[in-house]
């Protein structure tokens, strides 16, 4: 549900039984048709937008870049130098730049749907779209570790800390296995989902609550309603930062996990 539709619904409810606060149901959108929902369309649209942007920015590449080429190179350079090179190291980082670059752009575009008028739905407010990304990141760093150290060598590398007395390994190995192998995809998923879900829910609450209070007819309630709208605008600007940061953090953690998996020592 877009915030515009939510405000309209709140206005209708103002004359009925009372205010109904938005809940997780606002993410359960009706089907557009043939089993396809709005969120599915947005995820598919993001792939088209990213592909179109990259083709447009690289089609007429020149030594002196135009605006689109400059924008594409700036994003690529940010992921390559700030995320991949710093987290993985200068020897192997280029092997993983295409994956990390695609991951970053995909998350950014789907996050920023949440502030686009009429769309106003971050795709990753639904956890089902994040789980495959986290699984791909998990398989990537596991595969990178096996590629570098071999199957058994990687799991030894990931679970047996270097230079630790052997008598304490009986405690550390299970903890390291949980921390470095099992828990990571869950933390990737929950961090992104929690921020996108809570941010959109908060915006919906300020929007619908403000609309309801303004329809109430009470002067004090109307003042609070205006304040709610102003708070919603402030949260929207905060969300601009959060949406970028969550894409950055997800990609950075994926790169760090890869870097740790292929490092020479644990």
State the chain's mean pLDDT as an integer: 86
User: Measured between alpha carbons, how far is 91 from 78 in angstroms, rounded to an integer?
Assistant: 18
The phi, psi pair for 227, rounded to 5°, reads -60, -40
- pLDDT tens column, 102-155: 999 999 999 999 888 877 788 898 899 999 999 999 999 999 999 999 999 999
Distance CA 19, CA 45 (A): 34
- The pLDDT, as a whole number, for residue 12 is 47
Q: What average pLDDT does range 14-19 have in this prediction?
A: 57
If you write DSSP's letter for every residue of 49-97 in order, what string do you get? HHHHHHHHHHTT--SS--HHHHHHHHHHHIIIIIIIIHHH-TTTGGGTH
Q: pLDDT band for position 36 (50/70/90)?
A: confident
pLDDT value, residue 17: 54
> CA 108 to CA 41: how far, in whole Å?
16
The whole-number average pLDDT for the span 242-262 is 96
Nearest to 254 by CA among 122, 162, 142: 142
| Structure-token pair, residue 210 | 């403000």
Task: Tell me the per-residue pLDDT of 44-77, one tens digit each, with 9 for 90 and over.
Answer: 999 999 999 999 888 877 777 788 888 899 999 9
Helix 38-58 with 67-77: angle, nearest 10 deg = 110
Angstrom distance (rounded) from CA 266 to CA 248? 24
Span 219-243, mean pLDDT? 87
Looking at residue 37, the DSSP 8-state letter turns out to be E
Residue 231 CA to residue 22 CA, distance in Å, equals 16
Best CA proximity match to 127, nearest among 39, 206, 202? 39
Mean pLDDT of 32-42: 82
First and final CA of the chain: distance in angstroms? 46
At residue 13, does pLDDT exceed 70? no
């Amino acid at each position: 549900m877009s915030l515009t539709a939510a405000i309209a619904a709140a206005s209708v409810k103002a004359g009925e039984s009372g205010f109904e606060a938005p809940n997780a149901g606002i993410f359960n959108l009706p089907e557009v048709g043939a089993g396809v929902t709005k969120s599915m369309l947005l995820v598919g649209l993001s792939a088209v937008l990213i592909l179109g942007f990259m083709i447009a920015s690289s089609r007429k590449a020149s030594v002196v870049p135009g605006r689109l080429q400059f924008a594409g190179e700036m994003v690529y350079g940010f992921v390559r130098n700030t995320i991949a090179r710093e987290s993985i190291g200068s020897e192997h980082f280029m092997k993983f730049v295409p994956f990390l670059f695609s991951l970053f752009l995909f998350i950014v575009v789907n996050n920023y749907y949440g502030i686009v008028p009429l769309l106003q739905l971050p795709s990753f407010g639904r956890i089902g779209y994040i789980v495959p990304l986290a699984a791909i990141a998990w398989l990537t760093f596991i595969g990178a570790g096996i590629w570098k150290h071999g199957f058994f060598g990687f799991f030894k590398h990931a679970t047996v800390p270097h230079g630790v007395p052997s008598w304490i390994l009986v405690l550390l190995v299970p903890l390291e296995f949980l921390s470095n192998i099992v828990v990571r995809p869950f933390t990737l998923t929950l961090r992104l989902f929690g921020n996108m879900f809570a941010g959109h829910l908060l915006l919906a609450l300020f929007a619908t609550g403000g609309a309801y209070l303004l329809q109430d007819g009470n002067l004090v309630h109307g003042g609070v309603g205006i304040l709610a709208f102003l708070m919603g605008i402030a949260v929207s600007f905060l969300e601009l930062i959060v949406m970028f940061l969550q894409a950055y953090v997800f990609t950075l953690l994926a790169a760090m996990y890869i870097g740790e998996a292929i490092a020479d020592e644990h």
